[in-house]
Amino acid sequence: MNLKIDRDGRVVTVRLHRPAVRNALSHAVLTDLLDALRPLDRDPGVGCFVVTGSPEVFAAGADIREMADRTASEMADDDYFAGWEEFAALRTPKIAAVSGYALGGGCELAMMCDLVIAGRSAVFGQPEVKLGVMPGIGGTQRLTRLVGKARAMDLILTGRTIDALEAERWGLVSRVVADSQVLEEAAQTAAVIASYGRASVRAAREAVDQALETGLRDGIRYERRVFHGLFATEDQREGMRAFLEKRPPRFTGQ
């Protein structure tokens, strides 16, 4: 198994565990990840995922040994890396807790998550150009949307890396904390997210993602329709009743 899975209440933590290859992302890692998270994504008792690596390395990239001898036709026939979009599309919110290196596929994995909480040791980059290739797990697309064309070109065309504080300034990282606090901060944030109504949280993250896909007018219309739809849920009724009655809400995920 390339992962370690822990569950604490409504929060599931997934730790990449390939220490011999610095948590390189292989086809087996993706298979294990999806096999573990598909059923949890459907579990109404799960409210948030935390994805992390080791204190030294989140993930140093895709598994080069697995790709090095493949041909262009083999890569195209397999639609190599396409399966990672299933991970990105999981509806449960995902927090990346990043310490150490998040390079290439590791940076792309972090960007597939909804929040990135980084330790001060974190290092981000898309150095694929140094291998004669380019980002292939969404790096050219997600990085550009997150930090803008100029900065995406800077990282992708030079292959240079940036530290956690620069990544935070650019908008790649949500928060920077001490390395010793990364997992605790991520777990606490995940617990807060998981404490809210499941339907509203899922709808909100999908609406934010929609902002990157559509123009402003279409995005606002989409947001409004989803907002209207939440009035069919018990959690909406409970949340608003609790506010009016000045008590904590008791969300059920319904």
Burial code of 141-163, b = ≥16 C-beta within 10 A, e = fewer? ebbebbbeeebbeebbeeeebbe
The full DSSP string for 99-130 is -SEEETHHHHHHHHSSEEEEETT-EEE--GGG
Which phi and psi (to 5°) does residue 97 adopt?
A: -105, 105
Residue 118 annotated among the catalytic residues of the structure: no
Q: Which of 33, 152, 168, 138 is nearest to 94 (CA)?
A: 33
3-state secondary structure of 78: helix
User: Per the residue annotation, which of 62, 122, 167, 194 is the catalytic one?
Assistant: 62
The catalytic residue among 53, 105, 106, 119 is 105
Can 139 be counted among the known catalytic residues? no
3-state secondary structure of 161: strand
- Residues near 176 by beta carbon (within 8 Å), at least 6 away in sequence: 117, 118, 119, 120, 122, 164, 165, 167, 168
Active site residue 85: no
Instruction: Check 24, 96, 128, 197 and give the catalytic one.
Output: 128
Rounded to whole angstroms, the Cα distance separating 98 from 235 reads 32
Q: Which of 60, 100, 106, 108 is catalytic?
A: 108
105 has catalytic annotation = yes
Q: Which residues pair with 125 in a beta bridge?
A: 103, 161
Catalytic residue annotation: 62, 105, 108, 128
